[in-house]
Structure 1
Amino acid sequence: MSERRFEAVIFDFGGVITASPFEAFNRLEEERGLPADFIRRVNAANPHDNAWARFERAEIDARRFDVLFEAEAEAMGHPLEGRAVLAVLSGAIRPAMVRALGQLAGAGYRLACITNNVPAGHGAGMARSDDTKDAYEQVFARFEHVIESSKAGVRKPDPRIYQMMCGHLGLEPAQCVYLDDLGINCKPAAALGMAAIKVTSGAQALADLSQLVGLDLG
Protein backbone atom coordinates (compact mmCIF):
# COMPACT_ATOMS: atom_id res chain seq x y z
CA MET A 1 0.00 0.00 0.00
CA SER A 2 1.46 3.38 -1.01
CA GLU A 3 2.23 5.99 1.64
CA ARG A 4 -0.39 8.71 1.94
CA ARG A 5 0.74 12.03 0.48
CA PHE A 6 -0.95 14.33 3.01
CA GLU A 7 -1.37 14.13 6.77
CA ALA A 8 -3.35 17.27 7.55
CA VAL A 9 -5.98 19.54 6.03
CA ILE A 10 -5.85 23.16 7.17
CA PHE A 11 -8.94 25.30 6.66
CA ASP A 12 -9.60 29.01 6.56
CA PHE A 13 -12.84 29.73 8.44
CA GLY A 14 -14.75 32.66 6.91
CA GLY A 15 -15.56 31.96 3.28
CA VAL A 16 -14.61 28.28 3.56
CA ILE A 17 -16.31 26.72 6.58
CA THR A 18 -18.84 29.55 6.50
CA ALA A 19 -20.42 31.46 3.65
CA SER A 20 -18.25 34.28 2.37
CA PRO A 21 -18.35 37.53 4.38
CA PHE A 22 -18.13 39.31 1.03
CA GLU A 23 -21.76 38.32 0.43
CA ALA A 24 -22.73 40.15 3.62
CA PHE A 25 -20.59 43.12 2.61
CA ASN A 26 -22.42 43.28 -0.73
CA ARG A 27 -25.79 43.29 1.02
CA LEU A 28 -24.66 46.15 3.27
CA GLU A 29 -23.40 48.07 0.25
CA GLU A 30 -26.74 47.63 -1.49
CA GLU A 31 -28.62 48.80 1.61
CA ARG A 32 -26.43 51.91 1.87
CA GLY A 33 -26.42 52.68 -1.86
CA LEU A 34 -22.68 52.10 -2.13
CA PRO A 35 -20.84 50.70 -5.15
CA ALA A 36 -20.54 46.92 -5.21
CA ASP A 37 -17.35 45.64 -3.53
CA PHE A 38 -16.62 49.06 -2.02
CA ILE A 39 -15.73 47.53 1.37
CA ARG A 40 -13.29 45.13 -0.29
CA ARG A 41 -11.64 48.06 -2.07
CA VAL A 42 -11.24 49.97 1.19
CA ASN A 43 -9.69 46.91 2.82
CA ALA A 44 -7.41 46.31 -0.18
CA ALA A 45 -5.90 49.81 -0.02
CA ASN A 46 -2.70 49.83 2.05
CA PRO A 47 -3.47 46.17 2.85
CA HIS A 48 -0.82 45.57 5.51
CA ASP A 49 -1.34 48.71 7.60
CA ASN A 50 -4.94 49.85 7.09
CA ALA A 51 -7.59 49.71 9.81
CA TRP A 52 -8.67 46.19 8.85
CA ALA A 53 -5.15 44.78 8.93
CA ARG A 54 -4.36 46.44 12.25
CA PHE A 55 -7.62 45.18 13.75
CA GLU A 56 -6.95 41.60 12.59
CA ARG A 57 -3.60 41.77 14.38
CA ALA A 58 -5.35 43.18 17.49
CA GLU A 59 -3.27 46.36 17.36
CA ILE A 60 -6.41 48.50 17.74
CA ASP A 61 -9.77 47.96 19.43
CA ALA A 62 -13.26 48.07 17.92
CA ARG A 63 -13.80 51.74 18.78
CA ARG A 64 -10.57 52.78 17.07
CA PHE A 65 -11.36 50.56 14.08
CA ASP A 66 -14.74 52.27 13.72
CA VAL A 67 -13.08 55.68 13.48
CA LEU A 68 -10.18 54.67 11.24
CA PHE A 69 -12.28 52.63 8.80
CA GLU A 70 -14.78 55.47 8.44
CA ALA A 71 -11.94 57.87 7.61
CA GLU A 72 -10.57 55.43 5.01
CA ALA A 73 -14.01 54.98 3.46
CA GLU A 74 -14.59 58.74 3.28
CA ALA A 75 -11.17 59.18 1.65
CA MET A 76 -12.32 56.76 -1.05
CA GLY A 77 -15.48 58.74 -1.68
CA HIS A 78 -18.23 57.23 0.46
CA PRO A 79 -19.14 57.50 4.15
CA LEU A 80 -19.37 54.16 5.98
CA GLU A 81 -18.73 53.59 9.66
CA GLY A 82 -16.58 50.64 10.69
CA ARG A 83 -19.09 49.39 13.24
CA ALA A 84 -21.60 48.73 10.46
CA VAL A 85 -19.09 46.46 8.73
CA LEU A 86 -18.39 44.54 11.95
CA ALA A 87 -22.10 44.03 12.54
CA VAL A 88 -22.48 41.87 9.40
CA LEU A 89 -19.30 39.80 9.71
CA SER A 90 -20.62 36.43 10.91
CA GLY A 91 -21.36 33.98 8.11
CA ALA A 92 -23.63 30.93 8.09
CA ILE A 93 -21.84 27.61 8.49
CA ARG A 94 -21.84 25.38 5.41
CA PRO A 95 -23.24 21.98 6.53
CA ALA A 96 -21.43 20.13 3.72
CA MET A 97 -18.12 21.42 5.03
CA VAL A 98 -18.91 20.19 8.52
CA ARG A 99 -19.80 16.76 7.14
CA ALA A 100 -16.48 16.75 5.26
CA LEU A 101 -14.62 17.46 8.51
CA GLY A 102 -16.14 14.31 9.96
CA GLN A 103 -15.19 12.24 6.91
CA LEU A 104 -11.63 13.53 6.94
CA ALA A 105 -11.20 12.84 10.64
CA GLY A 106 -12.67 9.37 10.20
CA ALA A 107 -10.10 8.67 7.49
CA GLY A 108 -7.27 9.68 9.80
CA TYR A 109 -6.54 13.17 8.52
CA ARG A 110 -5.54 15.79 11.06
CA LEU A 111 -7.60 18.98 10.95
CA ALA A 112 -6.55 22.55 11.70
CA CYS A 113 -7.67 26.10 11.03
CA ILE A 114 -5.92 29.40 10.29
CA THR A 115 -8.28 32.35 10.32
CA ASN A 116 -7.88 36.10 10.02
CA ASN A 117 -10.40 37.62 12.40
CA VAL A 118 -10.86 40.68 14.56
CA PRO A 119 -11.02 41.09 18.35
CA ALA A 120 -14.73 41.85 18.38
CA GLY A 121 -17.60 39.50 19.13
CA HIS A 122 -17.71 36.39 21.28
CA GLY A 123 -15.75 33.17 21.61
CA ALA A 124 -14.14 31.14 18.87
CA GLY A 125 -14.24 32.98 15.58
CA MET A 126 -15.45 36.17 17.28
CA ALA A 127 -19.12 35.42 16.66
CA ARG A 128 -21.66 38.25 16.68
CA SER A 129 -24.41 36.44 18.64
CA ASP A 130 -24.70 33.71 21.25
CA ASP A 131 -26.31 31.30 18.76
CA THR A 132 -23.53 31.86 16.26
CA LYS A 133 -20.94 31.57 19.03
CA ASP A 134 -22.25 28.12 19.98
CA ALA A 135 -22.29 26.94 16.37
CA TYR A 136 -18.78 28.26 15.71
CA GLU A 137 -17.39 26.66 18.87
CA GLN A 138 -18.81 23.28 17.87
CA VAL A 139 -16.90 23.51 14.59
CA PHE A 140 -13.70 24.84 16.18
CA ALA A 141 -13.75 21.88 18.58
CA ARG A 142 -13.18 19.58 15.60
CA PHE A 143 -9.79 21.14 14.86
CA GLU A 144 -6.63 19.86 16.49
CA HIS A 145 -5.23 23.38 16.47
CA VAL A 146 -6.61 26.83 15.57
CA ILE A 147 -4.64 30.01 14.92
CA GLU A 148 -6.69 33.23 15.04
CA SER A 149 -4.88 36.33 13.80
CA SER A 150 -6.44 38.51 16.49
CA LYS A 151 -4.89 36.28 19.16
CA ALA A 152 -1.60 35.43 17.42
CA GLY A 153 -0.77 39.01 16.41
CA VAL A 154 0.09 37.90 12.87
CA ARG A 155 -2.26 37.58 9.89
CA LYS A 156 -2.38 35.95 6.50
CA PRO A 157 -0.71 36.32 4.03
CA ASP A 158 2.33 36.62 6.33
CA PRO A 159 4.19 33.30 5.80
CA ARG A 160 4.91 33.11 9.52
CA ILE A 161 1.33 32.16 10.33
CA TYR A 162 1.52 29.06 8.10
CA GLN A 163 4.90 28.16 9.56
CA MET A 164 3.44 28.52 13.05
CA MET A 165 0.75 26.00 12.17
CA CYS A 166 3.24 23.52 10.75
CA GLY A 167 5.25 23.87 13.94
CA HIS A 168 2.21 23.16 16.10
CA LEU A 169 1.34 20.10 14.03
CA GLY A 170 4.92 18.89 13.75
CA LEU A 171 4.51 18.52 9.98
CA GLU A 172 6.27 19.79 6.89
CA PRO A 173 4.24 22.11 4.62
CA ALA A 174 4.27 19.46 1.88
CA GLN A 175 2.28 17.17 4.18
CA CYS A 176 -0.58 19.68 4.37
CA VAL A 177 -3.51 20.78 2.21
CA TYR A 178 -4.63 24.37 2.71
CA LEU A 179 -7.99 25.92 1.74
CA ASP A 180 -8.75 29.65 1.59
CA ASP A 181 -11.20 31.82 -0.34
CA LEU A 182 -8.54 34.46 -1.06
CA GLY A 183 -5.84 33.84 -3.62
CA ILE A 184 -3.49 36.20 -1.82
CA ASN A 185 -3.65 33.87 1.19
CA CYS A 186 -3.17 30.72 -0.88
CA LYS A 187 0.02 31.97 -2.55
CA PRO A 188 2.30 31.90 0.52
CA ALA A 189 0.93 28.50 1.55
CA ALA A 190 1.75 27.13 -1.90
CA ALA A 191 5.17 28.82 -1.87
CA LEU A 192 5.99 26.99 1.37
CA GLY A 193 5.01 23.69 -0.25
CA MET A 194 1.39 23.17 0.80
CA ALA A 195 -1.22 21.99 -1.70
CA ALA A 196 -3.36 25.13 -1.80
CA ILE A 197 -7.00 25.20 -2.88
CA LYS A 198 -8.62 28.56 -3.67
CA VAL A 199 -12.24 28.26 -2.63
CA THR A 200 -14.83 29.84 -4.93
CA SER A 201 -17.76 27.76 -3.66
CA GLY A 202 -18.37 24.98 -1.19
CA ALA A 203 -19.00 22.42 -3.93
CA GLN A 204 -15.84 23.36 -5.84
CA ALA A 205 -13.72 23.22 -2.68
CA LEU A 206 -14.97 19.76 -1.74
CA ALA A 207 -14.48 18.47 -5.29
CA ASP A 208 -10.88 19.70 -5.39
CA LEU A 209 -10.18 18.43 -1.88
CA SER A 210 -11.68 15.02 -2.72
CA GLN A 211 -9.16 14.59 -5.54
CA LEU A 212 -6.23 15.40 -3.27
CA VAL A 213 -7.15 13.19 -0.32
CA GLY A 214 -8.76 10.30 -2.19
CA LEU A 215 -12.16 10.57 -0.53
CA ASP A 216 -15.63 11.37 -1.88
CA LEU A 217 -16.48 14.48 0.13
CA GLY A 218 -19.28 15.67 -2.12
Structure 2
Amino acid sequence: MPRTCLIVDFGGVLTTSFDDAVRGFEVREGLPEGAVEKTWYRDPAMVELTHDLERGRATQYAWNRRLGRALGIDGTDLLGRIFADTRLDESMTSVVAQVRAAGLRAGLLSNSMGLAPWNMYRGFDIHASFDAVLLSAQHGMRKPEPAMYELILKMLEVPGDACVFVDDNAENLPPAEALGMATVLHRSVEHSSTRLEQLLGVVVPGIPQKEN
Protein backbone atom coordinates (compact mmCIF):
# COMPACT_ATOMS: atom_id res chain seq x y z
CA MET A 1 0.00 0.00 0.00
CA PRO A 2 1.24 3.54 -0.71
CA ARG A 3 2.53 5.42 2.30
CA THR A 4 0.63 8.45 3.53
CA CYS A 5 3.22 10.80 5.04
CA LEU A 6 6.33 12.59 3.77
CA ILE A 7 9.11 13.79 6.09
CA VAL A 8 11.93 15.87 4.62
CA ASP A 9 15.17 17.52 5.60
CA PHE A 10 15.62 21.21 4.73
CA GLY A 11 19.19 22.20 3.85
CA GLY A 12 20.35 20.40 0.72
CA VAL A 13 16.89 18.94 0.04
CA LEU A 14 14.55 21.93 -0.13
CA THR A 15 17.48 24.21 -0.98
CA THR A 16 20.16 24.19 -3.62
CA SER A 17 23.40 22.35 -2.87
CA PHE A 18 25.27 23.31 0.30
CA ASP A 19 28.47 21.83 -1.17
CA ASP A 20 28.23 24.15 -4.19
CA ALA A 21 27.69 27.11 -1.86
CA VAL A 22 30.81 26.22 0.14
CA ARG A 23 32.90 26.06 -3.03
CA GLY A 24 31.62 29.47 -4.11
CA PHE A 25 32.46 30.92 -0.70
CA GLU A 26 36.02 29.59 -0.88
CA VAL A 27 36.50 31.28 -4.24
CA ARG A 28 35.17 34.60 -2.96
CA GLU A 29 37.38 34.49 0.14
CA GLY A 30 40.48 33.34 -1.75
CA LEU A 31 40.67 30.13 0.27
CA PRO A 32 42.12 26.88 -1.08
CA GLU A 33 39.58 24.40 -2.36
CA GLY A 34 38.53 22.12 0.50
CA ALA A 35 39.67 24.55 3.22
CA VAL A 36 36.21 24.79 4.81
CA GLU A 37 35.65 21.03 4.83
CA LYS A 38 39.07 20.39 6.33
CA THR A 39 38.67 23.02 9.03
CA TRP A 40 34.99 22.42 9.80
CA TYR A 41 34.35 18.71 9.35
CA ARG A 42 37.75 17.20 10.18
CA ASP A 43 38.58 19.20 13.31
CA PRO A 44 37.05 17.37 16.31
CA ALA A 45 36.61 20.63 18.22
CA MET A 46 34.67 22.22 15.34
CA VAL A 47 32.57 19.08 14.89
CA GLU A 48 31.68 19.14 18.59
CA LEU A 49 30.84 22.84 18.46
CA THR A 50 28.66 22.25 15.40
CA HIS A 51 26.77 19.51 17.22
CA ASP A 52 26.27 21.88 20.16
CA LEU A 53 24.99 24.53 17.76
CA GLU A 54 22.53 22.07 16.23
CA ARG A 55 21.30 21.13 19.71
CA GLY A 56 20.88 24.77 20.72
CA ARG A 57 23.72 24.65 23.24
CA ALA A 58 25.98 27.08 21.36
CA THR A 59 25.32 30.26 19.39
CA GLN A 60 26.09 31.11 15.80
CA TYR A 61 28.21 33.97 17.10
CA ALA A 62 30.52 31.58 18.96
CA TRP A 63 30.61 29.19 16.00
CA ASN A 64 31.41 32.01 13.57
CA ARG A 65 34.25 33.31 15.73
CA ARG A 66 35.82 29.85 16.13
CA LEU A 67 35.72 28.91 12.45
CA GLY A 68 36.79 32.39 11.37
CA ARG A 69 39.91 32.16 13.55
CA ALA A 70 40.67 28.67 12.24
CA LEU A 71 40.39 29.84 8.62
CA GLY A 72 42.22 33.12 9.27
CA ILE A 73 39.31 35.26 8.06
CA ASP A 74 36.68 37.60 9.49
CA GLY A 75 34.09 35.56 11.38
CA THR A 76 31.27 38.11 11.11
CA ASP A 77 28.08 36.32 9.96
CA LEU A 78 30.30 33.52 8.70
CA LEU A 79 27.53 30.92 8.28
CA GLY A 80 25.51 33.41 6.29
CA ARG A 81 28.48 34.17 4.06
CA ILE A 82 29.33 30.49 3.56
CA PHE A 83 25.79 29.70 2.42
CA ALA A 84 25.07 33.00 0.65
CA ASP A 85 24.59 31.22 -2.68
CA THR A 86 21.92 28.80 -1.44
CA ARG A 87 18.38 29.28 -2.63
CA LEU A 88 15.10 27.46 -2.16
CA ASP A 89 14.72 24.66 -4.66
CA GLU A 90 11.24 25.49 -5.88
CA SER A 91 10.91 22.12 -7.60
CA MET A 92 11.31 20.31 -4.29
CA THR A 93 9.09 22.69 -2.33
CA SER A 94 6.48 22.07 -5.03
CA VAL A 95 6.78 18.35 -4.36
CA VAL A 96 5.87 18.94 -0.70
CA ALA A 97 2.96 21.18 -1.69
CA GLN A 98 1.65 18.60 -4.14
CA VAL A 99 1.87 15.83 -1.54
CA ARG A 100 -0.17 17.88 0.91
CA ALA A 101 -2.65 18.86 -1.80
CA ALA A 102 -3.24 15.15 -2.35
CA GLY A 103 -4.33 14.85 1.29
CA LEU A 104 -1.11 13.34 2.68
CA ARG A 105 0.70 14.68 5.73
CA ALA A 106 4.13 16.31 5.57
CA GLY A 107 6.74 17.03 8.24
CA LEU A 108 10.03 18.91 8.37
CA LEU A 109 12.90 17.29 10.29
CA SER A 110 15.90 19.61 10.22
CA ASN A 111 19.22 19.99 12.01
CA SER A 112 19.02 23.74 12.49
CA MET A 113 22.04 25.94 13.18
CA GLY A 114 20.45 28.74 15.11
CA LEU A 115 18.33 31.49 13.63
CA ALA A 116 20.61 34.53 14.04
CA PRO A 117 22.34 36.22 12.47
CA TRP A 118 21.77 33.73 9.61
CA ASN A 119 18.37 32.10 9.36
CA MET A 120 18.43 29.12 7.00
CA TYR A 121 14.63 29.16 6.75
CA ARG A 122 14.19 32.88 6.02
CA GLY A 123 11.88 33.49 3.09
CA PHE A 124 10.03 30.18 3.41
CA ASP A 125 7.06 29.80 5.75
CA ILE A 126 7.91 26.40 7.15
CA HIS A 127 5.00 26.33 9.58
CA ALA A 128 2.46 27.00 6.83
CA SER A 129 4.11 24.49 4.51
CA PHE A 130 4.16 21.48 6.85
CA ASP A 131 1.81 19.72 9.25
CA ALA A 132 4.65 19.46 11.79
CA VAL A 133 8.04 21.17 12.07
CA LEU A 134 10.90 19.85 14.20
CA LEU A 135 14.02 22.01 14.35
CA SER A 136 16.81 20.33 16.28
CA ALA A 137 17.98 23.34 18.31
CA GLN A 138 14.49 23.88 19.71
CA HIS A 139 14.46 20.37 21.22
CA GLY A 140 18.07 19.91 22.37
CA MET A 141 18.87 17.05 19.99
CA ARG A 142 20.05 16.41 16.45
CA LYS A 143 19.85 13.84 13.69
CA PRO A 144 20.76 11.01 13.63
CA GLU A 145 19.68 10.63 17.28
CA PRO A 146 16.65 8.26 17.23
CA ALA A 147 14.65 10.54 19.53
CA MET A 148 14.40 13.11 16.71
CA TYR A 149 12.61 10.63 14.47
CA GLU A 150 10.39 9.35 17.24
CA LEU A 151 9.31 12.88 18.09
CA ILE A 152 8.39 13.89 14.52
CA LEU A 153 6.23 10.76 14.24
CA LYS A 154 4.49 11.72 17.48
CA MET A 155 3.97 15.27 16.23
CA LEU A 156 2.51 13.99 12.96
CA GLU A 157 0.45 11.32 14.74
CA VAL A 158 1.52 8.60 12.28
CA PRO A 159 3.43 5.31 12.57
CA GLY A 160 6.85 4.95 10.99
CA ASP A 161 5.65 2.49 8.36
CA ALA A 162 3.29 5.15 6.98
CA CYS A 163 6.17 7.50 6.19
CA VAL A 164 8.82 8.27 3.61
CA PHE A 165 11.88 10.20 4.81
CA VAL A 166 14.11 12.24 2.46
CA ASP A 167 17.57 13.49 3.47
CA ASP A 168 20.77 14.35 1.61
CA ASN A 169 22.99 12.81 4.32
CA ALA A 170 23.17 9.01 4.24
CA GLU A 171 24.06 8.93 7.96
CA ASN A 172 20.59 10.26 8.78
CA LEU A 173 18.68 7.44 7.08
CA PRO A 174 19.24 4.32 9.28
CA PRO A 175 17.31 5.62 12.34
CA ALA A 176 14.33 6.33 10.09
CA GLU A 177 14.53 2.86 8.57
CA ALA A 178 14.68 1.34 12.07
CA LEU A 179 11.25 2.90 12.73
CA GLY A 180 9.79 1.43 9.55
CA MET A 181 10.13 4.46 7.29
CA ALA A 182 11.03 4.13 3.63
CA THR A 183 14.01 6.38 2.90
CA VAL A 184 15.25 8.36 -0.08
CA LEU A 185 18.80 9.70 -0.31
CA HIS A 186 18.34 13.02 -2.09
CA ARG A 187 20.72 13.62 -4.97
CA SER A 188 18.46 15.35 -7.50
CA VAL A 189 14.88 16.51 -7.86
CA GLU A 190 14.32 13.96 -10.62
CA HIS A 191 15.50 11.01 -8.54
CA SER A 192 13.62 12.03 -5.39
CA SER A 193 10.44 12.86 -7.31
CA THR A 194 10.49 9.48 -9.05
CA ARG A 195 10.97 7.59 -5.78
CA LEU A 196 8.30 9.61 -4.00
CA GLU A 197 5.81 8.97 -6.76
CA GLN A 198 6.49 5.24 -6.39
CA LEU A 199 6.32 5.22 -2.59
CA LEU A 200 3.46 7.65 -2.01
CA GLY A 201 1.34 6.87 -5.04
CA VAL A 202 1.03 10.59 -5.80
CA VAL A 203 1.99 12.26 -9.07
CA VAL A 204 4.46 14.96 -8.12
CA PRO A 205 6.08 17.71 -10.21
CA GLY A 206 9.57 17.16 -11.53
CA ILE A 207 8.79 14.04 -13.57
CA PRO A 208 7.87 14.34 -17.25
CA GLN A 209 4.57 12.48 -17.57
CA LYS A 210 4.14 9.88 -20.29
CA GLU A 211 1.70 10.71 -23.03
CA ASN A 212 -1.15 8.28 -23.66
Q: Shorter-normalised TM-score: what interval?
A: 0.7 to 0.9
Task: Give the secondary-structure state (helix, strand or coil) at the position aligned to 1:10.
Answer: strand
User: How big is the shift at 1:162?
Assistant: 0.6
2:119 to 111, 126, 147: 126
Partner Cα distance (2:40, 2:127) in 1 = 26
Give unmatched runs, 5+ long, in structure 1.
none
Decide whether aligned partners of structure 1 residues 60 and 36 sit closer, same or farther in structure 2, where only a CA change above 3 A counts: same
Identify which range, 34-43 or 8-17, moves more after superposition.
34-43
Partner Cα distance (1:81, 1:105) in 2 = 43
1:89 to 72, 83, 97: 83
Instruction: Tell me the residue number matched to 1:159.
Output: 146
Query: What amino acid is aligned across from residue 15 of structure 2 in structure 1?
Result: T
Whose helix fraction is larger, Structure 1's or Structure 2's? 1
Partner Cα distance (2:162, 2:45) in 1 = 30
Instruction: Tell me the residue number matched to 2:12.
Output: 15
Query: What amino acid is aligned across from residue 113 of structure 1 in structure 2?
Result: L
Task: Give the secondary-structure state (helix, strand or coil) at the position aligned to 1:102.
Answer: helix
- 2:130 is the counterpart of 1:136: no
Percent identical pairs in the alignment equals: 25
2:50 to 45, 48, 52: 52
User: How big is the shift at 1:80?
Assistant: 4.5
User: How big is the shift at 1:49?
Assistant: 5.2
1:67 to 65, 68, 83: 65
- Does the 8 Å CA contact 1:69/1:81 hold for their aligned counterparts? no
User: How big is the shift at 1:210?
Assistant: 1.3
- Superposition RMSD on alpha carbons, in Å? 2.4
- Residue-by-residue CA offset, 1:1-52 (whole Å, 9 max, x unaligned): xxx4312100101111111222211111122333434323444333895221
Give unmatched runs, 5+ long, in structure 2.
208-212
Task: Give the secondary-structure state (helix, strand or coil) at the position aligned to 2:11.
Answer: helix
Q: TM-score, normalised by structure 1?
A: 0.81
